[in-house]
Amino acid sequence: MQNLKDIPCLILGIGNILWADEGFGVRVVEAFNDKYAFTDPNNVIADGGTLGMYLYDRICRAEKLLIFDCCDFKGKPGELRVLRNDDVKLWTATKISPHQTGMNDLLVAAAVRGAIPNDIAVVGFQPVLLDDYGGSLSAEAKGKVDEAVRDGYEIVRGWNVGLRVRSEDEMAPALMDAPCLNIDQYESGRPSAEEACRDGDIRFARFVAKADK
């Protein structure tokens, strides 16, 4: 089977912004996209969210893959770590939440097809806070966003992939279609604890409570 490698470099932010630090990868890829642009339009920066197998085609088409994510690599909460080569197994072996399809499933599927990216790197964050439904990043996670962007930049430049800094008046293309998901609007528009359950969907919580009685 011939595999088309028409994406020299693919950058993905993985995670679910509804669960605090689980959205770290998404917020980092947004910040990266706001600051940098590829010099080659065939390269791709994307919000991978929790798309799971929907990312399979792009991963198979990529020669180099950089991923920003929140992952449990058994480090100190708030730690940022760059994973490469064998270290990537630490990341693919973990699953932060039930909303995620394991990226290891995608990479194994790509390997079976003979289309796994030649180079893979992960900039991972050990979460501080996860169980805050509708919450934004913890202070520790926010404090690591710029460092994660710098790490990503160094990785991509190390691959000899062209990047440029966006000009001050340049509008970066949005990675999310809904403006309300922008981190500033997302935080300012959050309902109070009385109006919105912090531990998940209140309808489901009530169902579980009744079932336990």
Give the pLDDT band (50/70/90) at residue 121: very high
Indicate whether 15 belongs to any domain.
yes
Question: Is 211 a residue whose pLDDT tops 60?
Answer: no
Q: Domains in the chain: how many in total? A: 1
74, 79, 82, 88 alpha-carbon torsion, rounded to 10°: 20
Is residue 2 assigned to a domain? no
> Does 69 count as an annotated binding residue?
yes
Burial of 90 (0-12, 13-18, 19+ CB in 10 A): middle
Do the domain assignments include residue 1?
A: no
CA–CA gap between residue 23 and residue 17 (Å, rounded): 4
Does residue 103 lie within any of the structural domains?
Answer: yes
Query: Is 40 labelled as part of a ligand binding site?
Result: no
Range of the domain at 100: 7-212
Closest to 121 measured CA to CA, from 145, 90, 147, 98: 90
- Kindly report the average pLDDT of the chain as a whole number: 85
Question: Average pLDDT, stretch 56-65?
Answer: 94
Across residues 55-70, what is the average pLDDT? 94
Q: Looking at the predicted structure, is the pLDDT value of residue 148 above 90?
A: yes
Burial class for 102, CB neighbours closer than 10 Å (0-12, 13-18, 19+): middle
Per-residue pLDDT, averaged over 122-149, amounts to: 94
d(CA 89, CA 59): 17
In this prediction, residue 165 carries a pLDDT of 97
Tell me the pLDDT band of 163, cut-offs 50, 70 and 90. Answer: very high
As given in the structure block, the two tokens for residue 78 are: 């708030």
Mean local confidence (pLDDT), 143-172: 96
Residue in 20, 14, 11 with CA at minimum distance from that of residue 186: 20
CATH of the domain at 28: 3.40.50.1450
Cβ atoms of 100 and 16 closer than 8 Å? yes
Q: What is the mean pLDDT of residues 133-150?
A: 95
Tokens standing for residue 145: 């966003």
Confidence band for 101, pLDDT divided at 50, 70 and 90: low
Helix (H) or strand (E) holding 82: strand 80-84
Q: Is 151 contained in some domain?
A: yes
- Pick the range with the lowest mean pLDDT from 87-91, 96-100, 178-182: 96-100
Sequence-ordered list of residues with C-beta below 8 angstroms from that of 167, at least 6 positions apart, any chain: none
Map residue 30 onto helix, strand or coil. helix
Residue 92, in any domain of the structure: yes
